[in-house]
A and B are shown apart, each in its own frame.
Chain A
Amino acid sequence: MALKFQIITPERVVFSDEIDQVTMNTQDGEITVLPHHIPLVSVLKPGELICKKNSEEYPLAVTGGFVEVRPDSSVIILADTAEKAEEIDIARAEEARERALKTMREERKLDSAEYAALQATLDRALIRLKVGNKYRKLKPEIK
């Protein structure tokens, strides 16, 4: 029996399919959901999300959100933003990372809220870079 998997952001449905397993980063650590998982609600951290179907992997970069596993083996992910690895614009992610780092170094008078927001931006850029680069490295081998 397969998992009914759906990942949705406020802007669009990113990915929706039947898959074998999914691995993601929650606030309490990395979890992998297989069919017949116990019903679960959890909060996601920015991180990599990997769906596996017939031994093929589909990596996605997710920047926070929620996951709900329902008793009927359906997994619903409400993500703040989510991108498939092949959609990630590495140059833009790199730029965002540089910008965030620069602001952190230069502006010393950031209050804690601003700093946290900046840190979140940085985390998001890093995770997109990580997933994007990994996918790019894998790609030549597939060909």
Chain B
Amino acid sequence: MEMISAVKMRRAVANVLATRSYANLAWQMLTDVAKKTNINLHPLLAKRPIKKAAVALIISNRGLAGGFNSRMLVETDALIKKLKSQGAEVEVLINGKRGKKIYQQFGHTIAAEFEKMDMTMKVEEVLPLSNMIVSDYTAEKYDEIYLGYTDFVSAIKQIPTIKKLLPLSTAADAALGAVGEAPAKETVSASAEFLFEPDPANVLNVLLPRLVEVQIYQAVLESDASEHSARMMAMRNASDAAEDMIKELNYNFNKARQSAITQEISEIVGGAAAL
């Protein structure tokens, strides 16, 4: 199990790294567009007072991954409680079977549940979730949407993270998974002539949903990588613990066997002496 998880982890990590450059460039493009036009009018960037919020929870399909799922659930629960204390209604969108616990253990409402592959490879696999998020936000069903995923830092460190997905903020620090990477550099001065085809609004209409999609995709990949490395560690601990237990049991067995033999011999010797 440890070996299997190690292989899966390596693949998941490669996926995460491959997608980071796309996300960074997409953000850069948005920042460039933002300088040329007032992008705050777009529905996906509009800030509204929070009456109802949603949390998209990305979690694993299976257990046996140490504290991976429970840590994510606790983190999500804390966020939901905080939002509720501010008077907002909160619903959870689950991506991954283990997410049901948010209802079973913590009693929060689940609005939708999405199937997740054990290993997400293509962007298309997150489309159902991202389409729902974009359309629900545009239809003003939710006023804020959060994304809960486990950020992959290293094979032994994964951090459950909650990030505000919508309304999109154009701040540079919003770039997901940009751990240790330089912030988007300025490529366009405000005065430079810039051509939009067909026009800025149209470009935004296509670009923004795409950004949401890519962020979700990246979050899923990060979670995948985290899940497999968490499972790898859990399995390694389990193997180590089993080895220790075998050693101890063997020792106990030998001790019991030795004492049984000793006793038998002393009984025979005692019996012989009595004759």
Residues of A within 8 A of B (CB): 6, 8-13, 26-28, 38-43, 66, 68, 70-72, 76, 78, 80
Pick 11 A–B contacts, CB within 8 A, sort by A: A8-B21, A10-B23, A13-B18, A26-B197, A38-B195, A41-B195, A41-B197, A42-B203, A70-B187, A71-B192, A78-B26
Least distance between B177 CB and chain A CB atoms (Å): 13
Contact B214 A70 (CB under 8 A): no
B24 closest partner in A (C-beta): A8
Q: Which of A9, A28, A41: most chain B Cβ within 10 A?
A: A41
Which residues of A have CB within 8 Å of B187?
A: 70-72
Q: Does B64 contact A (CB under 8 A)?
A: no
Contact A28 B197 (CB under 8 A): yes
Question: What's the Cα separation between A39 and B217 when bound, in Å?
Answer: 29
Task: Give which listed residue, B29, B122, B192, B206, contacts A68 with CB less than 8 A.
Answer: B29
Contact B188 A71 (CB under 8 A): yes
Number of B residues near A (Cβ < 8 Å) is 31
Given contacts A11-B122, A68-B29, contact A27 B198 (CB under 8 A): yes
Within 8 A of A (CB), among B4-30: 15, 18-19, 21-23, 25-26, 29
Which residues of B have CB within 8 Å of A40?
A: 194-197
Which residues of A have CB within 8 Å of B88?
A: none
Which residues of A have CB within 8 Å of B203?
A: 41-43, 66
Q: Does B113 contact A (CB under 8 A)?
A: no
Contact B122 A66 (CB under 8 A): no
Least distance between A79 CB and chain B CB atoms (Å): 9
Q: 17 more A-B contacts (CB under 8 A) besides A28-B198, A39-B188, A43-B198?
A: A10-B22, A11-B121, A12-B18, A13-B18, A39-B195, A40-B196, A41-B32, A41-B33, A41-B200, A42-B195, A43-B197, A43-B202, A43-B203, A43-B206, A68-B32, A78-B22, A78-B29
Question: What's the Cα separation between A86 and B198 when bound, in Å?
Answer: 32
Question: What's the Cα separation between A121 and B231 when bound, in Å?
Answer: 37
B121 closest partner in A (C-beta): A11
Interface of chain B: mostly helix, strand, loop or mixed: helix
Question: What's the Cα separation between A13 and B22 when bound, in Å?
Answer: 8
Contact B25 A76 (CB under 8 A): yes
Contact A39 B194 (CB under 8 A): yes
Residues of B within 8 A of A (CB): 15, 18-19, 21-23, 25-26, 29, 32-33, 121-123, 187-188, 192-198, 200, 202-203, 206-207, 210, 214, 217
Question: What's the Cα separation between A27 and B15 when bound, in Å?
Answer: 30
Given contacts A11-B122, A66-B29, contact A42 B197 (CB under 8 A): yes
Contact B192 A39 (CB under 8 A): yes
Which residues of B have CB within 8 Å of A43?
A: 197-198, 202-203, 206
Given contacts A41-B197, A70-B188, contact A8 B25 (CB under 8 A): yes
Question: What's the Cα separation between A42 and B197 when bound, in Å?
Answer: 5
Which residues of B have CB within 8 Å of A27?
A: 197-198, 202
Question: What's the Cα separation between A12 and B221 when bound, in Å?
Answer: 13
Contact B19 A10 (CB under 8 A): yes
B23 closest partner in A (C-beta): A10
Which residues of B have CB within 8 Å of A26?
A: 197
Least distance between A15 CB and chain B CB atoms (Å): 13
